[in-house]
Amino acid sequence: MISHLFFIFIIGPGILVILIAILIAQVLSLKRRLYFLFQKGDKNLEEILKEQFKRLEQQEEKLEQVLEDIAELKRISQKSFQKIGVVRFNPFREVGGDQSFSIALLDANNDGFVITSHYGRESNRVYAKSILKGKSQYSLSREEQEAIEKAIQSEV
């Protein structure tokens, strides 16, 4: 019975004191860690996190603007000349060297024009014909049709 009382009044509180000391040590260690996190230099962690979130929002806005710019450039590029076809030829027997040519300039939708230059000893004639979806409302020479086909096949 004395051993039970000895344990209850002497050893029990001693164990509790040791456990409380361990808990106090852990709390102090945790307090030092938290102080280190929340007080780093002139700024604490909360201020640093606020700044980082603000920067993140700014970056998201900039990224959104870049994506809009890319979409606009993509839309514009569909109308720029992307496909080119050139055919050199000799339409007149008296002139040599394939000085005449047909050149087709087309966009992504195969819209554009074909220019043909007929070079002769006495004159040079230039013709331009519009192209829609790879076809023209005007009659095309064999060389003009070949230039258009080359352009369509030269897709970027």
User: Residue 117: which of 108, 125, 128 has the closest Cα?
Assistant: 125
Are 66 and 106 in a shared domain?
A: no
118: Cβ contacts below 8 Å, ≥ 6 apart: 91, 92, 100, 124, 125, 126, 127
pLDDT digits (tens, 9 = 90+) for 34-46: 777 666 566 667 7
Q: Determine the pLDDT at residue 137.
A: 92
Which residues of the chain fall short of a pLDDT of 70? 1-8, 37-44, 94-96, 155-156
Question: What's the pLDDT score for residue 124?
Answer: 86
Looking at the fold, whether 93 and 123 belong to one and the same domain comes out as yes
**Domain co-membership, 47 together with 105:** no
| Domain range for 124 | 83-153
For residue 85, give both structure tokens.
Answer: 């076809």
According to the model, what pLDDT value does residue 38 have? 66
* Total domains in the fold of the chain: 2
Pull the structure tokens for residue 106: 């087309």
Look up residue 60 and give its two tokens: 């998201």
Give pLDDT, residue 2. Answer: 61
